[in-house]
Amino acid sequence: MMYKWKSSFARRHVLIGMLLILMPLAVVVACAQSSAGSSPTPTSQPSLAAITIKAMNYSYDQPQTVPAGLVDITLINNGTEPHQDNIVRLHDGVTFEQFQAALLKQGDLGAVQLSTFYGGPNAILPGKSQEVILNLPAGHYVSICFVRGSDNVPHYMKGMIAQFTVVGSPGESQAPKADGEIVLQNFSYVLPGTLPSGPITLKVTNRGSQTHEVTLVHLAPRKSMQDVIAFLHKPAGPPPFEVAGGLAAIAPQTSAWLKLNLQPGKYGTLCFVTDPTTGKPHFMLGMMAPFTVQ
């Protein structure tokens, strides 16, 4: 999940998708690091249940019932603003009305107290798509977009929140074959320093004790992650990056799979989850990592 941390960012239309949002999420942040690895070789995937979700301004067109187990989810952004789909399972006994009330009263802090975050396609630009594979147990779920627009209002407050149900018992589907891995720790990224262009699948595992996300950015020519951080601290001029999808927030000790099809260039990943102690997003405390696609 991506998080907006300065209201001034919301006035910059080019950053609407980058500064996504959950208000404070209960997380503890430390420094981040990355470790380079060899380029993975793309592999084929087993047959899985698959659904497509269409994002508009400000709603989702999606199935009301989804089978339990491994599900391949594609988000297509048919809107005119960046959107995401953070998928959360309501705790047993929690109603949708209670969840909405918690959102209105406490923002994401209230949401995380009543639900478990299972990931989902992170923010994509209009006309783009993002595919992920999630392992969903049966239960009552919510699709939610935490992106804030130029008016600084999160999209879920404009109606971009939808209920759906996951039913049945997980099937015998084999876990997807991964071409590489991203590990989320307390609080760092471990990922290959170089990835191949074209279709690949990366397993994302949160080995920390707090919720984390993978927010991908495509760097502008001759720009670095230091330029990105400098811009996020003090926005001025055109942004040195473009939002490029990723995996929305996932709970501790869970895994999901991120399917990418990136063009060659310089990229980075950041975590915008807010540290409740300092009030700062994780990237300000070091949770970022550069990588190259070639």
Q: What is the CATH number of the domain that holds 211?
A: 2.60.40.420
Domain count, the chain: 1
* Residue 117 domain flag: yes
* Residue 293 domain flag: no
Residue whose token pair is 């084999």: 174
Q: Residue 194's Cα: distance from chain center in Å? A: 21
* Residue 276 domain flag: yes
* Residue 262 domain flag: yes
Contacts of 19 (CB under 8 A, 6+ apart): 2, 3, 4, 5, 6, 9, 10, 148, 272
Instruction: Decide if 26 contacts 131 (C-beta within 8 A).
Output: no
pTM as predicted: 0.85
Instruction: Decide if 5 contacts 281 (C-beta within 8 A).
Output: yes
Q: Which domain holds residue 162?
A: 7-38+45-287
* Residue 183 domain flag: yes
Q: Residue 209's Cα: distance from chain center in Å? A: 17
* Residue 2 domain flag: no
The pLDDT value recorded for residue 45 is 55
Burial bucket for residue 279 (CB in 10 Å: 0-12, 13-18, 19+): exposed
Return the DSSP state at 234: S
* Residue 210 domain flag: yes
Provide the residue-wise pLDDT of the chain in tens; the chain has 294 residues: 544 444 333 333 334 344 433 333 333 223 333 333 344 444 455 578 999 999 999 999 999 999 999 999 999 999 999 999 999 999 999 999 999 999 988 877 788 889 999 999 999 999 999 999 999 999 999 999 988 887 989 999 999 999 999 999 987 778 899 999 999 998 899 999 999 999 999 999 999 988 899 999 999 999 999 999 999 888 888 999 999 999 999 999 999 999 999 999 999 999 988 777 787 888 988 899 999 999
Contacts of 56 (CB under 8 A, 6+ apart): 78, 79
* Residue 1 domain flag: no
